[in-house]
Chain A
Amino acid sequence: MHIPDGFIDVQTSAIFAGLAAAGVATALKGARTQLDEKTAPLAGLTAVFIFAVQMLNFPVAAGTLVGPWAATLALAVVLIMQGFLFADGGLTAIGLNVFNMGVIGVWAGYGIFLVLRKILPKNKSSISLAAAIGGLLSVPAAAIGFTIQYAMGATATFSVSTVLGAMVGTHILIGIGEAIITGLTVSAVLASRSDLVYGWKNNVQKLEIRSAN
Chain B
Amino acid sequence: MDGRTMFKSWRSEVLTNRKFYLSGLVVSLFLAGVISFYASSSPDGLEKVAEDIGFIQTAKEHTNSKGTLADYGVKGIENERASVGVAGVIGVVGTAIVAGIGFRLLARKPKNSTN
Q: How many residues of B contact A (CB 8 A)?
A: 60
- In chain A, positions 54-79 with a C-beta closer than 8 Å to chain B are 55-57, 70, 73-74, 77-78
Contact assessment for B58 and A6 in the assembled complex, using a CB-CB cutoff below 8 Å: yes
Tell me if A52 and B92 are in contact (CB < 8 A). yes
Find out whether the CB atom of A48 lies under 8 angstroms from the CB atom of B25: yes
Q: State how many residues of chain A have any CB contact under 8 Å with chain B.
A: 61
Cβ-based interface call for A192 (8 A): yes
Complex interface: stretch among A32-40, A103-111, A112-120, A128-136: A32-40
- CB–CB B35/A56 < 8 A: yes
A-side contacts of B60, CB under 8 Å: 4-6, 90
Q: Which residue of B lies closest to A6 (CB)?
A: B60
Measured between C-beta atoms, what is the minimum distance from A137 to chain B in Å? 14
**Contacts from A to B (Cβ < 8 Å):** 1-7, 28, 31-32, 35-37, 39-41, 43-49, 51-53, 55-57, 70, 73-74, 77-78, 81-82, 84-88, 90-91, 139, 143, 146, 154-156, 158, 162-163, 166-167, 170-171, 173-174, 192-193, 213
- B interface residues (Cβ-Cβ under 8 A, vs A): 16-17, 20-21, 23-25, 27-29, 31-32, 35-36, 39-40, 42-46, 48-50, 52-55, 58-65, 67, 69-72, 87-88, 90-92, 94-96, 98-100, 102-104, 106-109, 111
